[in-house]
Amino acid sequence: MLRPLLLAAFLFSSSINFPPLSAYARNESIQPNIILVMTDDQGYGDLGVTGNSVIDTPHIDAMAKRSATVERFYVSPVCTPTRACLMTGRYNYRTRAIDTYKGRAMMDAGETTVAEILKSQGYATGIFGKWHLGDNYPLRAMDQGFEESLIHRGGGIAQPSEPVENNRRYTNPILIHNGIETPTKGYCTDIYFDAAMKFIEKADQQDKPFFVYIADNVPHGPFHDVPEKLYAKYKAMDLSPILLDNKRQADTVARVFAMVENVDRNMGILFDRLDSLDLTENTIVIFMCDNGPNTTRYVGEMRGRKSDVLDGGIRSPFFFQWPAGVKAGTKVDRIAAHIDILPTLVDATGATVPDDVKLDGRSILPLLQQKEVRWKDRYLFLQTHRGRPPQRWHHAAVVGQRYKLVRPSGFGNKKPKSDSSEFLYDLQADPKEMNDIKNEHPQIAAEMKAAYHRWFDDVSSTRKDNYAPPRIVIGTENETRTVLTQQDWQAADTPGWGKNGRWLVTVEKDSTFKASVLMLKPVTGDVTVTIGDEKTSTTVTGESQTVIEVGEISAKQGETTVQGRIISDGREINVHQVVLELVKP
């Protein structure tokens, strides 16, 4: 932590002989603080600084001017893959985090996160908002390096993973604070930023550097609960300049912009707080998004939206503010991606990556600091689609410094289309990806496709059973109340959340649980919970119930499954959540 007197002395001496910026970062006594802010489904074009003529984002726009900017920064097409890449510096296909739900949004507990690395270096580590890499032990953020965790479950508030009492609220939501369901007051974004600033103040009082990850769940849908005054503002505006061809989405975009402007206001409060604590100079603040926008709207000189592998679906703004370490206004034209964040922060802090961890990303700090380095061109690989396991050359993009080979075969499609859906674009001349030049440059397309196949073979062979889903561990003192939700169950590859799924678990030791089933609406009927070959049942008659205490059930140590079933009026209906409370080990 850099105290004011030390800062003054440093600036005085540096006026004579200013040391290299990286030397400043590597001085253990002045480790930089880090704040990483990532919004959810915002997209590249939802900022004034990226050319949006409608939205008001003055604080982020001002941050961009104070920052080094990566002009072509790539992320994955959807939520979980980006978060896994960001946390590990590795492509998500190495981490078992494949999709966004149905048990495929869990990251292998053996992965090493940036939070774990920085915590080992003495950093206070906190996450506020969206984790989306596993809701149960040992997959939670609090198990993966974050000592302070205030998050929602699953992929978002208002999804089946949330506490049943929450009733889809963004305002006054029930969040998960260090593993405990906790009522809160205020709008979710305000809550995350306020909690993060309290965490920063505490770390500062303890004279500890901090890593704060504010992963807001806005402007992800649903859109029913947004800041009302800001919604009224945008509802009254002409949004046609940024709606492209889909004017029917004007109301939704007004709601999205209300949420984004609320984020911007919180960014302004955050910067003011850093100033008041004299922390601005040596605090890295990063702003980015997790994927493209959640409607078809303005994305700069690109096309595409969330889930697309066109640039509009996989490009994010990336602003890196660090007054002590990078020069304001620096522009980086080299391609970079989410996999580069971990190695960059490790480089900036002087931390080290364990020898057995293979990174896919590289530190872009030399570029941000305008160092003269030999920067070898590379390909980035972005691929995400529904279903399991990943399919070779399906809904994928290979991005080079100039050319891009893309096969946009459908995020939700189970079967790839023919090779005719493969396109080569010159992004330098054609940023909208309108003119296929594969026939004019077959050798470039062949080289990029061969690089893709080498990459896919590599990431797919990371570990034995590389794409097997991680397992939730039950019967452990680390989580005595396990809430199993549709977010993490294994269900058939049908649209939506699936039906009658089961959870893959490992019972840590022979245990007995009190089993309950939670429903959104009252039900009657026969209710059963099974763990492996053991089961407990009850019948709800008379007055229907939303909280059904089923009974005690034993489980033997080892790998098994959990399933809940309800037969009501002769038909089977989905359980909403199953709760297992450890009675005795």
Q: How confident is the model at residue 245 (pLDDT cuts 50, 70, 90)?
A: low
**What is the distance of C-alpha 392 from the center of its chain?**
24
- pLDDT digit string (tens) for 108-167? 999 999 999 999 999 999 999 999 999 999 999 999 999 999 999 999 999 999 999 998
pTM to 2 decimal places: 0.94
Residue bearing the bigger pLDDT, 386 or 262: 262
- pLDDT digit string (tens) for 453-489? 999 999 999 999 999 999 999 999 999 999 999 999 9
55 closest CA partner among 299, 315, 302: 299
383 closest CA partner among 437, 307, 435, 488: 307
Q: Are 90 and 111 contacting, i.e. CB atoms less than 8 angstroms apart?
A: yes
For residues 411-434, give the mean pLDDT: 83
Q: How confident is the model at residue 418 (pLDDT cuts 50, 70, 90)?
A: low
Q: Would you say residue 313 has pLDDT above 60? A: yes
Query: What is the spatial distance between Cα 99 and Cα 89, in angstroms, rounded to a whole number?
Result: 18
Structure tokens at 247: 């004017």
Q: Would you say residue 265 has pLDDT above 70? A: yes
Looking at the DSSP assignment, which residues form a beta bridge with residue 561? 504
- pLDDT digit string (tens) for 212-222? 999 999 999 99
> What 3-state class would DSSP assign to 347?
helix
Instruction: Work out the mean pLDDT of the chain and round it to a whole number.
Output: 93
Per-residue model confidence (pLDDT) at position 167: 87
56 closest CA partner among 316, 268, 246: 268
Specify the domain boundaries for CATH 2.60.120.260 within the chain: 472-584
> What 3-state class would DSSP assign to 524?
strand
519-554 exposure pattern, b = at least 16 Cβ within 10 A, e = fewer: beeebbbebbbbbbeeebebebeeeebeebebeebe
287 closest CA partner among 328, 321, 319, 330: 319
Query: What is the spatial distance between Cα 98 and Cα 385, in angstroms, rounded to a whole number?
Result: 8
**What is the distance of C-alpha 414 from the center of its chain?**
24
- How many residues are present in the chain? 585
The answer regarding whether domain 32-368 maps to CATH 3.40.720.10 reads: yes
For residues 335-353, give the mean pLDDT: 98
Specify the domain boundaries for CATH 3.40.720.10 within the chain: 32-368
585 CB-side CA count, 13 A: 10
- pLDDT digit string (tens) for 51-93? 999 999 999 999 999 999 999 999 999 999 999 999 999 999 9
Q: Would you say residue 494 has pLDDT above 80? A: no
Helix axes 58-66, 250-276, angle to 10 degrees: 50
| Cβ burial, residue 574 (10 Å; 0-12/13-18/19+) | middle
Query: What is the spatial distance between Cα 533 and Cα 385, in angstroms, rounded to a whole number?
Result: 34
Architecture of domain 380-460: 2-Layer Sandwich (3.30)
User: Which residue, chain included where needed, has tokens 């590795």?
Assistant: 90
Looking at the DSSP assignment, which residues form a beta bridge with residue 515? 551, 580
Q: Would you say residue 423 has pLDDT above 90? A: yes
Architecture of domain 472-584: Sandwich (2.60)
User: Which residue, chain included where needed, has tokens 């409608």?
Assistant: 54
With pLDDT > 90 as the criterion, what percentage of the chain qualifies? 88
Alpha helices in 225-337 (DSSP H): 228-235, 240-243, 250-276, 311-314
Query: What is the spatial distance between Cα 546 and Cα 517, in angstroms, rounded to a whole number?
Result: 8
Specify the domain boundaries for CATH 3.30.1120.10 within the chain: 380-460
**Residue 184 CB contacts under 8 Å (≥ 6 apart), including other chains:** 172, 173, 174, 175, 191
- pLDDT digit string (tens) for 543-578? 888 999 999 999 999 999 999 999 999 999 999 999
User: Which residue, chain included where needed, has tokens 């503002």?
Assistant: 233
Structure tokens at 32: 């930089």
Helix (H) or strand (E) holding 555: strand 534-555
Q: How confident is the model at residue 416 (pLDDT cuts 50, 70, 90)?
A: low
Query: What is the spatial distance between Cα 356 and Cα 335, in angstroms, rounded to a whole number?
Result: 26
| Cβ burial, residue 397 (10 Å; 0-12/13-18/19+) | buried
Query: What is the spatial distance between Cα 294 and Cα 305, in angstroms, rounded to a whole number?
Result: 6
